Structure formats: structure tokens, C-alpha cells
Amino acid sequence: MTAREHKLQNLPVMALALANRANAALLKRMLGHDFHVQDAFAEESDEAAQEIDLIVADTASLQHYRQRILNLRQQAAPMILPVLMVADNRTVLPSRLTAELGHSVDDLLRIPTTQAELKARIDNLLRLRDLSRQQESSRQQLVGVVSALSTLNACDRIVVRSKSEGEMLSSLCRTIVDEEGYNLAWVGFAIGQADKPIEIKAGHFGYEECRLLERLADNLVLGLNALRTLRESQQQSAKIHHLAYTDALTGLPNRRHLVRYLDRMLDAAEHTETSGAVLFIDLDRFKLINDALGHEVGDRVLIQIGQRLQGAVRHADQVIRQGGDEFLVLMIHDPRHAGASTREQIIANACALADRIIAHLAEPLMEGGFTHHIVASIGISLYPDHGRNATLLIENADKAMFEAKRQGGGGQLLFSEDFSTSRQQRFAMESRLREALNNEEFELHYQPIFELDSCRIVAVEALIRWPQADGDTLMPGAFMPVVEETGMIKPLGDWVLETAARQLKAWHEQGFMLEMAVNVSLNQLYPGCIAESFAALVRPHVDPRWIHLEVTENALMIDPGAIETLLYVLHAQGFQLAIDDFGTGYSSLSRLQHLSIQTLKIDRSFINELDQSGSKGAALVSIIQQMAASLNLHTIAEGIETDAQRRVLLETAGADGWGQGFWFSPGVPAHELEARLENQQASRRVQAEQD
């Protein structure tokens, strides 16, 4: 069935262009049979724009089909052919596509998403197209009254054509008397030097009056229908304006509104000396709320955040929803009303506003049965200093926000030209990381875990390294944040786990019966983790019981119920489970006793204080060890830097305690560790012979 045949069945026709086939199939399933989905742009004729009601495309397809989409939109004009851009939550939009939001792209949908949100976004865009179609129909109907408007240029509305002149005048009178809000030119005719006005309430008209009307009749057309049509057209225009410039979820102005408003203001800034700032607000780790509690709860949280932002800004400022978990604030300073201010004062005001916003958002927010503590990163650009058009100002504020997030999040930064270089370096690193992952350029080092009393190596922890062409080696802190943000953590994490298992098998075959610890990221575990996939990577090499999967304490606080179930399933697959960096989070005894864990790794911050006089480190470590013993949990002390620290730990933990740290050995390549294991094995043989 063709698109035209579907149109006859009143089914909206959607052109779907997604490079990822899995995403395309998922969207088709979510849309069901309510739409005719046409892959890409199968119909290349000029009539295609009239057949297609909506274009849905991802970033790659938008760039590939850019000219075709522009042509279709131009062919559809003056009607609107909406374009919905689909992007993964972790995708950083290219600046060119960001600039087209509100211009050639009408809305942005982040995936994964819910069926309800997908259909709501599409319905809004289809309503926008329908209203533009109705407005065009109304416009064509009104073409016929242009001559009448020019003749009666003092009239706001036009009179109806009737069967008789008398009936026409009566209709005119009823319209004026009964309808409110209509103005009309003076109607009358002249006799000699005297004007004879028509009494509009008279209801009876003479021969001369009817003759006057007859002479004007050709220019008085479509009266009552025109009145109604014009009123409906105004209402439709208002609806179209609302849909085009308002965010459907929060009711706030959208990016398109900001671009139009700010561009107009910047054009006038030279005369008014208006200045101010654009604040780009991103909610740190908001995706976890959507993943843990669902998009419905996430949407309600976003509505509350929009309300809080409005409460944090001044009356003259504007709050805009950019899309997803991003908001914008336009801070305006007009010297005609607020007096002159220096650049330093504008910066101080913008930074103070950003701090106020961060504080407002940080207040506890109840939704979905949970208390949420929202952390925001804010980038600030000044106008006209950092750009003389809206798109550039938003882009520069975005760069500043990205840098604030890169520095740890929860703060604000003013744009600097250096950020552009930093952003370019980040994109370059992302490209290099993908290439390194495809070419398996990473390698693992192994840090020994030893018995505190005998210093015998009993296990190792796998640590990822990235060798560079210049001979340098990058540590995880230099590249893992980018890996996490771009979604590469799952394939890279799988590679680490399988490589570690393969190496452990080789050591077992050499007689080194070690255990292996592997760090697991929250983004590997949740959402959508399949525990069996972890076991499938390990089992071809070793039994999973030889593998310790380490999860940070803070990761356990994200959707506790789901994480608890996942840990249980992983342990059922045979894995040993450990809480890494223990003591830095908020685990309670009640939580610990219900988690399927076997080991607590005491954070290095406690170990660092063990050999410092007056420190409470030893007491705290002793408490953790006693608590672990009461729960039948093993402990490993991280970050042992001195023999004095090892001795204190030995006194509190006893002979069963384990530790790791630079005092014993940093992470080393596999062949270096093998040499040490061989020496250890040889020493044990000598000791056995002596005994």
C-alpha cells in the first residue's frame, strides 16, 4: 500500500531514517499500527512533501539527507513538515545540528524513551502540521476579500452578501449590534452638500440606501463567514505559535523561542546597550532517575525543576527548556531600566544567579516515592562578548557547562576560548578511543593482593592501561570518564573481563592458583545488564568462583532493589562480589546483610592515616573489620604505602587479612608479575625442603 493510499485511510505518513536498525525496529514496534512508516525517503517526487506528515531521523541521517529534507520542507511550505531528531542519551550533538534545533529541526527526542513520550512528541508535531494546513486553507479563503479590505480600509471586518440589499443591511446591523469587538467604517451617502448617515438600528431602509449598498456590493463579500474564518485563523495562529515556541512537557518557552527572542534583542543591542548572559544548565546523572524509576517519574521531576528555576530567577529573566535534562536561562540587563553596569558586575550577577539556581535545585525533591537531590552543572556565556547571535551564545554556554561537568560537576563556569580547545580535544579522544577499542590497543596490568602476615600473593586486581604511540601510557582517570559518557564502557568492560579471565587461566595452567579482581562500572550493571553474559565471558577460561567483581559503594545506592537483585544473580552464577572503596558511601548494616557480597575493600583514605600520630584511622579500620567479621565478610585494605601501615592492619585484622598497595607492588604487566610469582613459588619450595 502506497503512502497516498494510507493517507486515504487517514493514517499519518512518517519518513523514518535511523542508521541504527535496532532503534528503527524498536520505534516501529512502539508506534504500532497508528502510522504508516516509510523507510527513509522512498518517494523522490515533488509530491512527496504533500504525502509525508513527519520526518523522524537520527543525527547521522540528518546529516546524510540534509539537502533532501530541506527540499521537502520547502516544497511543503507554507505548511510545516515537522522534523523530529532522535539521539541516544549519551550522544553529544555536533554543533551544526545543535544550531539547527528550532530552525530545520523542530524537536529532539532522547532514547531510550517510553511509548507514551514518543507518541506525545509525535502527536504534538502532527498537530503543528495540521494547524499549519488549516491556517493555509483559511489564508486561501481570505484571498477573495483583499479587494473589499482595500475599499473599506477603515473596516476591521466585512459584511455578508445576501439575497437582497435590505437583508444585507439587516445582517450588517445585527453583526454590529450583537457581536463585540468589531469596528466598522462610517457608512452613508451624500445628498448635495449634506451627509445622510444610515441608522444601523433602524431595521428599515429606503431606496437610495439600498442603491448605495448595491454599488458597494461587489466589494462586500463573504461577510459573516469571513468574520468567523478570521477569528478561527487567529486562534489557529495562536495555537501554532504556542506549539512552536513552548515546551510540551513543562510549559516553558523552548529553544526556538530563545533563538528568535535573543537574535532580535542582539540586533537592537547596539542602540539599547542591552547586555546579559546565557546560562546553560545540565542535570548531572539525571539519566539514572529515568533508568531507575521510569520516564514518567523523570518527567514529573523535570516539571518541578522548571518551576524551581522560575522561582530562582528575576522577573526580567527567562527560563527555557532546551530538551532532555537541559535548561537555559536568559539573564537580561537593560541599562534603560536597571542603570549602567560594568562587565565585571554582569559577570558577578550571572555567577550569583548560577549559584542561586544550584542551591534551589539541590533542595530535596520528592517524587515517585523517593527523595531526589538534584545536582546541576552550569555554563555561562555573556552577550555580546561571547557571541553576536543566539546560536553561538548557546553553543559557548554549552562548552562552559561541559567543562564544569568535566571538572566534577555541581558547579558553574564562565566561558573561555580555551574551552573550545578542550572540547575539540575531548572529541578527538573519543575518536581515538573508538579506534583503540576496535584495534584492541588497551592492555591490562595486575596489582598483587597479598596476605598481611606472610606477604604471599593470593590474588591480583586487573587494571586497564592505554599505551600511546609516543611511549607514554595513559591511566584510567585520563580516559575512562569519556568511555563512560559515550557508552563504550560495555564493550570495553567485556574486553577487560574476558582478557582477565584468559590471563588467569594461563596462570592456573602454570600452577599459580590466584584469584582475580575486576572492577565493574555502574553503567555495565545497570540498566539492562544480563548476568549470564558476564558468566559467558568467563566460563570458557575459568570457573567464575575465581573472579571477584568489584562494585563501588556509591553505585549500590542507585536503584537499590534492582542492584540487590542483580548482585544475587551474579553470585548465583558463581562470581565472588566485593564492595570497592568501602567507607566512602552510605551503606548501612541492614543493607549489607541483604547484599550478596563476600568482601569489603577498605578505602585508602582510612589506610593513609594509620601511621599518623593522633589519627583515628586505626580505630575506624578496626570498627570496619569487626563489622565485616560479624557479617562473615572478608576485608582487603587498599592503598598500603608503608610497612608501618601493614603492621597496624595485621594487628587489627589478624592473620586472615589481605592488602594491596604500592608498598608491596604497583600494577605491573603480566610477565613481570609472573617473574615475581615464580620467585615466590621457588622460595616456598626452599622453605618446604628446609622444614
> In this predicted model, what pLDDT tens digit does every residue of 117-153 receive, in sequence order?
888 888 888 888 887 777 665 555 444 333 333 333 3
Cα-Cα-Cα-Cα torsion 48, 53, 59, 63, nearest 10 degrees, comes to 30
Q: Which residue has the higher pLDDT, 169 or 387?
A: 387
* CATH class of the 427-681 domain in this structure: alpha beta
Those residues with Cβ within 8 angstroms of residue 427's Cβ, 6 or more apart along the chain or in another chain: 92
Check if CATH label 3.30.70.270 holds for domain 253-415.
Answer: yes
Residue 666, φ and ψ in degrees, nearest 5: -75, -175
Give the separation between CA 134 and CA 137, rounded to whole angstroms: 5
Residue pair 624/600 in contact (Cβ under 8 Å)? The answer is: yes
**Residue 628, pLDDT score:** 87
Instruction: Give the domain ranges of the chain.
Output: 3-139, 159-220, 253-415, 427-681
pLDDT computed for residue 334 by the predictor: 64
Predicted local confidence at residue 302, as pLDDT = 94
The reported pLDDT for the residue numbered 120 is 83
Q: According to the model, what pLDDT value does residue 523 have?
A: 75
Q: Residue 310: pLDDT band by 50, 70, 90 thresholds?
A: very high
- Of the candidates 481, 390, 530, 403, the residue with the CA atom closest to the CA atom of residue 98: 390
pLDDT at position 44: 55
Average pLDDT over residues 72-90: 83
155 Cβ neighbours under 8 A, 6+ residues apart: 149, 183, 184, 185
Residues 6+ apart with CB under 8 A from 169: 198, 205, 209, 210, 213
- β-pairing, 107-111 vs 83-88, is parallel
The pLDDT value given to residue 542 = 96
What is the spatial order of strands in the sheet that 83-88 belongs to?
36-39, 13-17, 54-58, 83-88, 107-111
C-alpha to C-alpha distance for 247 and 254, rounded to whole angstroms:
5
Strand partners, 668: 446
The CB density around residue 488, as the number of other CB atoms within 10 Å, is 20
CATH class for domain 3-139?
alpha beta
SS (HEC) of 24-86: HHHHHHHHCCCCEEEECCCCCCCCHHHHCCEEEEEHHHHHHCHHHHHHHHHHHCCCCCCEEEE
Task: Say if residue 205's pLDDT is above 60.
Answer: no
**537-567 pLDDT, tens per residue?**
999 999 999 999 998 876 776 667 777 888 8
Q: Which of 100-109, 342-351, 506-515 has the lowest mean pLDDT?
A: 100-109
DSSP string, 389-408: SHHHHHHHHHHHHHHHHHTT
* Segment of 150-164, 174-188, 349-363, 468-482 carrying the highest mean pLDDT: 349-363
The angle at the Cα of 441, spanning 436 to 443, to the nearest 5 degrees, equals 130
401 contacts: CB under 8 Å, gap ≥ 6: 280, 281, 282, 377, 378, 379, 413
| Cα–Cα distance measured from residue 513 to residue 34, given in angstroms and rounded to the nearest whole number | 60
Cβ distance 148 to 330 under 8 Å?
no
Quickly state the pLDDT bin for 661 (edges 50, 70, 90): very high
**Rounded-to-integer distance, Cα 625 and Cα 654, Å:** 10
